[in-house]
Amino acid sequence: MKILYLLFAVFLLIFQATSGSADPLFTDTVECRSQGNFCRAGTCPPTFAATGSCHGGLLKCCSK
């Protein structure tokens, strides 16, 4: 029975989520956000214009 507690602790350490790995994987998303714009699914709000794509072309990059 004591081995189960040890195994449970090892599994928790192995499968835990790392907090610093939330970096965007797509270069177009990084470029859009670095210019102060935001990504959105569908059309941009009325006062914004679509200037590019995000998330590998699935989203639109909206800017003022």
pLDDT digits (tens, 9 = 90+) for 21-63: 555 578 888 899 999 999 999 899 999 999 999 988 889 999 9
Tally the domains of the chain: 1
Q: Is residue 53 part of a domain?
A: yes
Nearest CA-CA partner of 61 in 23, 17, 27, 29: 29
55 part of a folded domain: yes
In-domain check, residue 7? no
Provide the pairing of β-strand 49-54 with 38-40.
Answer: unpaired
CB 59 within 8 A of CB 50: no
pLDDT at 6: 86
Domain, as residue range, for 59: 25-63
Q: Using 50, 70 and 90 to split pLDDT, how confident is the model at 2?
A: confident
- Assigned domain for 17 exists: no
Q: What is the pTM of this model?
A: 0.58
Distance CA 60, CA 43 (A): 7
Q: Is residue 19 part of a domain?
A: no
Give pLDDT, residue 16: 72
Which pLDDT value is given to residue 1? 65
- CATH number for the domain harbouring residue 33: 3.10.360.10
Q: Is the dihedral of CA 28, 42, 45, 48 positive or negative?
A: positive
